[in-house]
Amino acid sequence: MRVLIFILWILLGIFYWYCQNQCCNAGTDSVKDAVTQTAAPATSDGATKVIGDRPLTYNWSDGTPILGSRFNAYRDSIVSNVKENQILEITGLYSRDEENPTDFENLGLARADMARQKMNVNPDEVRLNSRLVASSQLDRDNAFESVRFKALVDSKNVKEETVVDENNNVQTRTTIYFPFNSTNKLNDSEVESYLDQVAKRVVASGEKVSLVGHTDNVGGDGPNMRLGTARANVIKNYLVRKGVNPSKVLVSSKGESKPIASNDTDSGRAKNRRTELQIIK
């Protein structure tokens, strides 16, 4: 009899242990999931904070950022990687199917600007951008990532920018500026350092480099076309000396036909004297 009671007592203990682990743990997991996916009330600055792994997300047709539990570390990592001669580009993604309740031209710019505010950076050290994407890349029903951060060179003689081609491919275009009537390589350590990195990349990857020369409107069309070509060749020759295969460098000229600033001022003409560099994948 005592043996039977002892056996029943052991079986009862096993059953109790099983219920505790299965039933109670299942309930705990459900609570954890609810905490991860349910937004807390909006904060005083309008941002809704949630507990989750993704540091910065947005809802459909909404420009207000949702800050995750790792946002502070995420922000610090991005800001600390922007060097002295660089600018932080923030690009907001948006879809044509979304409503835009903001005063911005599109919801992408609104998202980028709200992200800038949360990043705590000087507006003069940030460039806002937007990019139209297919609705399928976003999520109508759940929070989604909708901003991209990129540190771009932004100095007196070298400026990087993000461009989107006709096939919606995102690439970086670099503008290198030249003095008036000059076809000599700028005696500038920053320009050389930048081109060194370009050469190192394309030698390793086998990518091509497109170089397009531009001028101001001083002089005739023919001389300016030749001057634009000469400026592009200055950059090509430097890259070739650094090991780039000449066949991988494509040179062309637009002369004075594609100004990016007014030719009526000295500062505008200085911006038009340039070579645009783009790596072709």
Q: What band does 186 get if pLDDT is binned at 50, 70 and 90?
A: low
In this structure, are 123 and 172 located in the same domain?
no
Global model pTM greater than 0.95: no
Is 147 a member of any domain?
yes
pLDDT over 80 (residue 198): yes
Is 67 a member of any domain?
yes
Higher pLDDT, 244 or 2: 244
In the chain, % of residues over pLDDT 70: 78
Q: Residue 268: what are its φ and ψ, rounded to 5°?
A: -70, -45
Q: What band does 229 get if pLDDT is binned at 50, 70 and 90?
A: very high
Alpha carbon separation from 205 to 155, 161, 196, 238, 272 (Å, rounded): 26, 21, 14, 18, 31
In the chain, % of residues over pLDDT 90: 65
In this structure, are 130 and 174 located in the same domain?
no
In this structure, are 178 and 147 located in the same domain?
no
Give residue 189's domain range. Answer: 158-280
Alpha carbon separation from 144 to 68, 94, 129, 186 (Å, rounded): 12, 11, 18, 45
CB atoms within 10 A of CB 77: 12
Contact (Cβ atoms closer than 8 angstroms) between residue 276 and residue 214 = yes
What average pLDDT score do residues 232-250 get?
Answer: 95
Question: What CATH number has the domain bearing residue 263?
Answer: 3.30.1330.60
Is 31 a member of any domain?
no
In this structure, are 102 and 196 located in the same domain?
no
Last residue of a domain, one of 102, 135, 153: 153
Mean pLDDT of the chain: 82
